[in-house]
Amino acid sequence: MSEENVEIVRRAFETFAQEGPEAMVDFWDPEIELWMPSGLVQAGGTYRGHRAVLDWMKEWAEAWEEIDYTPEEFTEAGDNVLVSVLYNARGKESGVRTEARFWYLLTLRNGKTVRWELYPERAQALEAAGLRQ
């Protein structure tokens, strides 16, 4: 199942790149949870359901004049898929260019993402996924 999950996550990233965030709901369970640590981006915390996650994505995108998300590596971990994502962006207010890497830990059930966790450090994401460096 995990190799299938990796392919589902790859397709989700492709869909996002081609069609935008609204198309992502096809890959999400209706009760999806997005979790991120406080202080990472925005307020942190947990967002539940399609609307809450889409609203968070919209709020995040509004801070940038341009932003590009490049998935670099997909790692299977049972029902989880760990993805390293490179962000290249230019701030809307500041015009400053920035590059950062985040790790998404996506938990899938029945072909849908039920939980999306966002980590600033690879070691944290690996630990959360039950993997070793």
Arch. (CATH architecture) of 2-128: Roll (3.10)
| Mean pLDDT of all residues in 119-129 | 93
Where does the pLDDT of residue 107 fall: very low under 50, low under 70, confident under 90, or very high at 90 and above? very high
Where does the pLDDT of residue 61 fall: very low under 50, low under 70, confident under 90, or very high at 90 and above? confident
| Residue pointed to by tokens 């999306």 | 116
Mean pLDDT of the chain: 91
The pLDDT tens digits of the residues spanning 78-104 come to 899 999 999 998 988 899 999 999 999
The pLDDT tens digits of the residues spanning 12-29 come to 999 999 998 899 999 999
Where does the pLDDT of residue 45 fall: very low under 50, low under 70, confident under 90, or very high at 90 and above? confident
pLDDT at 60: 79
pLDDT at 2: 74
CA distance 75 to 73: 7
pLDDT at 43: 66
